[in-house]
Structure formats: structure tokens, C-alpha cells
Amino acid sequence: MKQYFAHETAVVDEGCEIGEGTKIWHFSHVMSNCKLGKNCNLGQNVVVSPEVVLGNNVKVQNNVSIYTGVTCDDDVFLGPSMVFTNVTNPRSAVNRRGQYSRTHVGKGASIGANATIVCGHDIGAFAFIGAGSVVTKNIPAYALVVGNPARQIGWMSEYGHRLEFNDQGLAICPESGDQYKLSENGVSKVEA
């Protein structure tokens, strides 16, 4: 018995694993051999290409294309009309199937509306990609990036607040109260 919801206009191909509580909305297409975790939400007109892997609680907004080679960890947010690519040098007359570059999105990361993630670049856990950004390199965990090409302008907490570090390299999230440490290796959450 199916333990997920798919709208009557959605298409789910053979060989997919879809977790309990996941919802697939109007005019979306989940292609063969995808793995979608529990409690995911795929908005209208979403395309999930073959062999894509999404963790639990991934939110995919309307008009998103997730191409073969993409994996997302738990709690990832993919904003409206954002897109992943999977070939660095596409040509209509040249078949590059089987040469897809991989892109991994870490736990809790958010990618804003209309952003583009150029293939072969990973997004770190809890990173925040601003709307309309074009990512052309790896993004570290907790980084806040904006623009075309995307450049880092700060750091974000796990609750999505910009972090302001003191002279000791410490910052506190105003919503959660969690503490973060800035070092030459990036940002890490200070465990209580």
C-alpha cells in the first residue's frame, strides 16, 4: 500500500522509493529509480530526474528541476524555480549521458528562488544561497552567498539568521540561542 500522496496529475515512474508522508503535487514528474525520503514536499511542476536522491523532510518549491547526479541530505529547502545543471559543456548534437557531474547539498541547506547550481559543486550543511545566485564553486557549511557568480558575504545559523561574530570569534543565533565559533576552517556550532 502506497504511504505517500501523489496528485492525480503527477507522474511517478517505476522503480522509485518514496518515503511515508511525502507529497507530490500537480504536474510533477518523478522519474525512474529516484529515492525520496519521508515527509518530503514536491510543489507544482517539479521534475526529479532518474536516480536523484532526496533525504527526509526536503522541501521542493514550484517549477524546480533536479537533474541526475544531485543528492540532497535531510531538511534541504529548494526555492521556487531554482535549477541544478548536470553537464558542464552541453551541446544539443553531442550526447553526454553517463558523463553527468555530481552535486551534493548538505543537511539543512537553503537555496533561494531562481538560483542556479552549476554541476560539480557541493553545498555545505546549513549554507544559505540567496535568490538569483549562480553557484560556480563549492560552498562551505553555514556560508551565506549571493550574486552572479555567487560570493560569500557572511555566515548563517541553523535557524537561518545572519551571524555576527565578536572579537573571540563567537556568535549567538537570536532565535535558537545556539552558539557558533568562527575559525580559519569556517564556522561550527558549539555543542552544549
Is the pLDDT at 109 greater than 90? The verdict is yes
Q: Tell whether 118 and 191 lie within a shared domain.
A: no
Q: Tell whether 90 and 169 lie within a shared domain.
A: no
The confidence band for 130, taking pLDDT boundaries of 50, 70 and 90, is very high
Region class of 153: left (phi > 0), else alpha (psi between -120 and 50), else beta: alpha
Q: What CATH number does residue 43 fall under? A: 2.160.10.10
Q: Tell whether 123 and 186 lie within a shared domain.
A: no
What does the DSSP assignment read for 6-32? E-TT-EE-TT-EE-TT-EE-TT-EE-T
**Using CA atoms, how far apart are residues 88 and 85, in angstroms rounded to an integer?**
8
Is the pLDDT at 192 greater than 80? The verdict is no
Residue 185 structural domain: 165-192
Reported for 54-60, long-range contacts at CB under 8 A and 24+ positions apart, including other chains, are 55/107, 56/19
Q: Tell whether 55 and 116 lie within a shared domain.
A: yes
The grid coordinates listed for 7 are 496528485
**Using CA atoms, how far apart are residues 192 and 131, in angstroms rounded to an integer?**
33
The confidence band for 112, taking pLDDT boundaries of 50, 70 and 90, is very high
Strand partners, 115: none
Least Cα distance to 51 among 73, 32, 66 occurs for 32
Spatial CB neighbours of 148, under 8 Å, sequence gap ≥ 6: 132, 133, 134
Q: Tell whether 127 and 50 lie within a shared domain.
A: yes
DSSP letter for 184, please.
Answer: T
Q: What is the reported pLDDT for 141?
A: 98
Q: What is the reported pLDDT for 2?
A: 82
Q: Tell whether 99 and 126 lie within a shared domain.
A: yes
**Geometric angle at alpha carbon 118, from 114 and 120, rounded to 5°:** 145
Please report, as a single letter, which amino acid is at residue 63: N
Q: Tell whether 109 and 178 lie within a shared domain.
A: no
Q: Tell whether 72 and 45 lie within a shared domain.
A: yes
The grid coordinates listed for 140 are 562551505
pLDDT digits (tens, 9 = 90+) for 157-186: 999 999 999 999 999 999 999 999 999 999
Asked whether the beta carbons of 165 and 156 are under 8 A apart, the reply is no
Is the pLDDT at 41 greater than 80? The verdict is yes
Is the pLDDT at 66 greater than 80? The verdict is yes
Q: Tell whether 6 and 60 lie within a shared domain.
A: yes
The confidence band for 121, taking pLDDT boundaries of 50, 70 and 90, is very high
Q: Tell whether 53 and 132 lie within a shared domain.
A: yes
State the total domains in the chain: 2
CA 120, 184, 143, 59 torsion-angle sign: positive
Q: Tell whether 68 and 105 lie within a shared domain.
A: yes
Q: Tell whether 31 and 69 lie within a shared domain.
A: yes
